[in-house]
Structure 1
Amino acid sequence: MGLISGAIDAALESIGKSLLDVGEWFLETGYTLWKNAGKLTLDYVKISPMSQSGAWGVVTGSVYQMSLAIAASLAVLFFVMGWLRESIDIRNNFTLENMFRFFVRYAITASLIVNSLSLVTGICECATAVTSQISVNMESKDVENVFETVRDQLEDDDDADGGTWIGMGLAGMLGGFFGGAVIMVCGVSLVLSVLSRLFRLLLCVPFAPAAFAGFAGGHEFAQTGIAWLRTFIGYALEAVVIALAISISYGMFKDANMFSAGAKSGSIVSLLLLICGYCMPMVTACACVKGAEMTVRRCLGLG
């Protein structure tokens, strides 16, 4: 019976080790995808929309030219509407000073419409330059042989039998699977956040001339142009906030040991907490990046 029991324990121990290896493989796979996603994120967060020749050509092509034509008509319309709104009493309001103010406002509006693409380019270049100055390091501690300490502790534990190995193996496999899945989701979410920001930035470009036309009418009409400027600047600065969010959150939590205490060494709980510790930097970085847009919108008063 002793030989049979020993053989069963040895078989269970072998199975437990294999299950731990599977869990490690899941974590390593997730971390590999995270590193690639992080590299792609850093590349795109520091990229200028003008460098995307295909997309930039679309938003500055025929659609933009049509927007310029519409903006020219709207500028005249808003100018007349603004003049009528402010000059109901011609005797008191139709003065040389007011006329000069109206035409100066119209000249500034026309200049904004004509040079709207230069303004867009300047804002993007400034945001890209600021973002490039932010140092972001997404390197994390190595995930190879994550469960090596767990194996060593079980091998040194004289009370560890085949059932213990099986329990730890199952916990390691399931924990590694879910941990790897969480890391993969965070990596994909990070890339999508950066790409969606670039996409929104490009979508704003064709509407710049039409939005600036509202300045010709002054007062309420100008709110269209102001809203566009605040929105576009917000999207441009979002890259800066994303880079800062990644740098700060990853710097705070990449060596986090908040899950390492409070559990018995070599237990299933300590194993699961170890996996949580590896996932924590990715989860926090992803959460901070997700909140970047809201941070910018609140700072600019966009709601």
Structure 2
Amino acid sequence: MIKSQITLKQLEAFVCVVDMGSFRKAAAVLGTTQPNISNRISTLEDSIGIVLMHRDAGSVRLSEKGEALLATARQVLWNAEAFLEVAERQDLIADRMRLGVTELIASTWLHVFLRRFREAYPSVAVELEVELSTGIEQKLAAGQIDLALQTGPFLHESTDSLALGTCPYIWIAPPELIARTGPKTRLAELLLTPVLIHARHTLASKELLKFAETRKLATDRIVFSSSLASCVQMAVDGMGAALLPAALVREQIESGTLVVLDCDWHPKPLEFFARFNGAKVSRFVEAAARLAVEVATGSGGRINSIDHPS
């Protein structure tokens, strides 16, 4: 039998320092102090009599032997997690998952996903960040989050990406506006009045501006907002028609505070993905991604949504 003083925490520190590129960042990820991380690595190196990495002015550089041992260290950590999964003791997996989601997901099915994930992994804490998809993508690429639930397309590739489904955009307006204009309208007419839409650099906004430009339609009354929730409230308050993801305004449409407009133009539906780096993250991150697929596509591939009029 092999007897050793090597611990999983030491291997975890080793792998995390390599992935994050510094002891300070690894300490932040693992929720401990930089001296603690340094001590774990030093103790590991002393135990095996090998220098795993060279410390150079705040950065780290793997030694030749450290490079060779890195993949094995990852495999040991994954196998330890797999051992608990086979034993059906996921409750013993005490860790954290850094999760980045878009506002639309946070406003629709995120609570269902978090509840089911907590049931499966009760000892894994979730650190949640809600922001625009572009910001989430940047943090995923930098290793600052483990799992991204976001919209495509992407500037940076991830090693693993699972499709979550689509969500169409619809035009909506308060009933009093519909009473004046009728339920059917053309984009050229809509753009003569205030139009509420997501941030300027989002895909839908870009599509709308491009379409309007090619047909020389007015764009000076478009109101851009980085907050989808604010767009919904402004529409409810009668500030104008809005172009929004259908899933976001389901309740308002069902209650009658907003009405669907039949317009002759719509942008492409949003496409959602669960993205992560399977070569680096814990096994429960992939399990979380697959759970997100189950929750998001539970209604036939639509993100809890309704279709716009045909």
Q: TM-score range by the shorter chain?
A: under 0.3
Normalized against structure 2, the TM-score is what? Answer: 0.23
Normalized against structure 1, the TM-score is what? Answer: 0.23
Q: Of the two, which has the highest radius of gyration?
A: 1
**Quick check: which one's helix share is greater?**
1
**RCO greater where, 1 or 2, for CA within 8 Å and sep 6 or more?**
1
**Quick check: which one's strand share is greater?**
2
